[in-house]
């Protein structure tokens, strides 16, 4: 029997799950525009990925369709501590259950910790992978230890030479004038 070819950009999820097939490949990071918009430098790297479809039998019901997505990519981000470029490894390991209706997805999503998605006519695996890589990025990227010491703010010599005025000096001056003028 001839093995069926699957298009990851227009994936037939039920057929992939029924076949128990595994897809794998690499996609250039710069081809993921939303992800690449956050890079501190252009990247010639790639996201290495795999996707496996499975059917899980259910007693007295239709089998469940599951897609397991794994990916690895190294991206260039800006350290928020030292503002220097840094390489951040992103790892994705996600399982998605596909259901036929929005109502079923909402119900199952509330009952379960699994990711439940409505079954599309065709799934763009590239877009799903890009979404997951974006979500895998740290909220605040930073080095474990910054490569250079952080710059210290320059002290303002004027502030050091002149003592700060007392906060009530102006009030004391007004009070002194009011006491000498004699009541009228």
Structure tokens at 121: 């006519």
Confidence of residue 166 (pLDDT cuts 50, 70, 90): confident
Portion of the chain with pLDDT greater than 90, in percent? 56
Q: Which contiguous run of DSSP H or E holds residue 94? A: strand 85-99
Confidence of residue 174 (pLDDT cuts 50, 70, 90): confident
Query: Residue 129 burial (CB < 10 Å; 0-12/13-18/19+)?
Result: buried
The answer to whether residues 101 and 50 touch, using CB atoms and an 8 Å cutoff, is no
Structure tokens at 42: 């252009």
Please check the confidence at residue 16 and state whether its pLDDT lies above 60: yes
pLDDT (mean) for 127-132:
96
The answer to whether residues 7 and 51 touch, using CB atoms and an 8 Å cutoff, is no
Residue extents of the structural domains in the chain: 13-136
What's the chain's length in residues?
184
Of the two residues 169 and 115, the one the predictor is more confident about is 115
- pLDDT per residue over 131-148, tens digit each? 999 999 999 999 988 888
pLDDT (mean) for 159-175:
69
Which one, of 115, 119, 4, 37, lies nearest residue 69 by Cα? Answer: 115
**Quick check: helix, strand or coil at residue 22?**
strand
| Phi–psi pair at 137, nearest 5 degrees | -70, 150
Alpha helices in 2-141 (DSSP H): 13-19, 33-36, 102-111, 125-136
Radius of gyration (C-alpha) of the chain in whole angstroms: 30
Question: What pLDDT score does 1 carry?
Answer: 43
């Amino acid at each position: 029997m001839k093995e069926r070819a699957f298009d990851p950009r227009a994936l037939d999820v039920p057929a992939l799950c029924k076949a128990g097939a595994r897809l794998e490949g690499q996609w250039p990071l710069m081809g993921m525009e939303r992800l690449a918009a956050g890079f501190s430098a252009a990247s010639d790297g790639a996201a290495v990925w795999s996707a496996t479809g499975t059917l899980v039998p259910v007693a007295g019901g239709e089998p469940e369709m599951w897609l397991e997505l794994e990916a690895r990519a190294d991206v260039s981000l800006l350290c928020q501590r030292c503002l220097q470029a840094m390489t951040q490894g992103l790892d994705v390991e996600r399982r998605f259950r596909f259901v036929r209706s929005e109502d079923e997805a909402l119900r199952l999503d509330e009952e379960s910790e699994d990711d439940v998605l409505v079954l599309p006519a065709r799934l763009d695996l590239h877009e799903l992978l890009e979404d997951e890589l974006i979500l895998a990025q740290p909220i605040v990227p930073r080095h474990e230890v910054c490569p250079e010491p952080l710059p210290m703010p320059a002290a303002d010599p004027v502030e050091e030479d002149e003592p700060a005025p007392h906060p009530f000096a102006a009030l004391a001056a007004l009070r002194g004038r009011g006491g000498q003028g004699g009541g009228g």
